[in-house]
Amino acid sequence: MKTPTPSASQIQRVLATAADLIAHYGFDKTTMEDIARQAGMSKSALYLLWSSKNQLFDALLASEMRRLLQDFQTRMEGDPAGGQIANLYRHALLALQANPLMCALYTRDARVLGDFVSRQDAERYTSRLLLSVEAIARMQAAGLIQADLRPEVIAYVFSIIAVGFIHIQAIVPTAEAPPLAEIAQAISHLMQSGLAGTAGDSTAGQQAISTLVAFAIQQYDDELAKTKR
């Protein structure tokens, strides 16, 4: 199959421009007309791809989530010690930080998300975001994370740091902040010394996480496949 659906590249282009515009101006202030013009088509053409603005947004979130996961996986697989919890978390943090829309979703940024913040299915994304309780428990069982902390607590601390990591950029001007990589490295250091388990090889964990992420990506692909049409 050369082209899975007739206008796959068009869909990608629209979603990319929608991501830019919504991350910049917010959901409410970004009109369908804006998206269409910026993507080089008419507004009507958009309604041939999605039946409503909300459905376009749903597809956008799925697409960005997919991109985030892909980015995370690329970073992790490019790291020889990517299976260690410290690096795992570091890559997750950096991948999240590089995706403005996912940052907004994760921090429930009302300026970007508009009314979407109140919709209950926002959790559908944030609950999976970063490492889930289940994934942590699994890594504890595999000896990759020490087991004397409850997985719920670890997941919560992960979220705290991620939220702080995103929010602090609106508080401290970036010029005065240390370089991003150095911050991420320091946080990674804390994770390594405080959470690393007894298991020596991290490649097994890397494999497990990798397939898990691949599965999640597949799920989002499936969701994106049934984009109206």
Footprint on this chain of its own copies (rule: CB under 8 A):
107-108, 126, 149-150, 152-154, 156-157, 159-165, 167-168, 170-172, 177-178, 182-183, 186-187, 189-195
Smallest gap from residue 220 Cβ to DNA (A)? 22
**Any contact of residue 25 with DNA (CB under 7 A)?**
no
Return d(Cα 27, Cα 114) in angstroms, integer: 5
215 binds, among its own copies, DNA, none (CB under 5 to 8 A by kind): none
**Any contact of residue 174 with DNA (CB under 7 A)?**
no
Position of tokens 């992960």?
158
Q: With contact defined as beta carbons under 8 Å apart, do 205 and 99 qualify?
A: no
Smallest gap from residue 176 Cβ to DNA (A)? 30
Smallest gap from residue 108 Cβ to DNA (A)? 19
**Any contact of residue 6 with DNA (CB under 7 A)?**
yes
Return d(Cα 27, Cα 23) in angstroms, integer: 8
**Any contact of residue 8 with DNA (CB under 7 A)?**
no
In the bound state with DNA, the residue whose beta carbon lies nearer, of 111 and 189, is 111
Q: What angle do helix axes 203-225 and 53-77 make, rounded to 10 degrees?
A: 160
**Any contact of residue 110 with DNA (CB under 7 A)?**
no
Q: Which stretch binds DNA (CB under 7 A): 37-45, 85-93, 164-172, 177-185?
A: 37-45
Q: Which stretch binds DNA (CB under 7 A): 42-50, 83-91, 94-102, 205-213?
A: 42-50
Return d(Cα 125, Cα 58) in angstroms, integer: 11
Among 9, 51, 169, 207, binds DNA (CB under 7 A): 51
Query: What is the DSSP track for 66-118?
Result: HHHHHHHHHHHHT-TTTTSHHHHHHHHHHHHHT-HHHHHHHTT-HHHHGGGGG
Going by C-alpha positions, the residue among 101, 144, 145, 141 that lies closest to residue 125 is 101
48 binds, among its own copies, DNA, none (CB under 5 to 8 A by kind): DNA
Helix (H) or strand (E) holding 37: helix 32-38
**Any contact of residue 12 with DNA (CB under 7 A)?**
no
**Any contact of residue 43 with DNA (CB under 7 A)?**
yes
In the bound state with DNA, the residue whose beta carbon lies nearer, of 4 and 179, is 4
How far is CA 151 from each of CA 62, 79, 119, 130, 155, rounded to the nearest angstrom?
26, 25, 27, 13, 6
Return d(Cα 146, Cα 110) in angstroms, integer: 37
In the bound state with its own copies, the residue whose beta carbon lies nearer, of 35 and 131, is 131
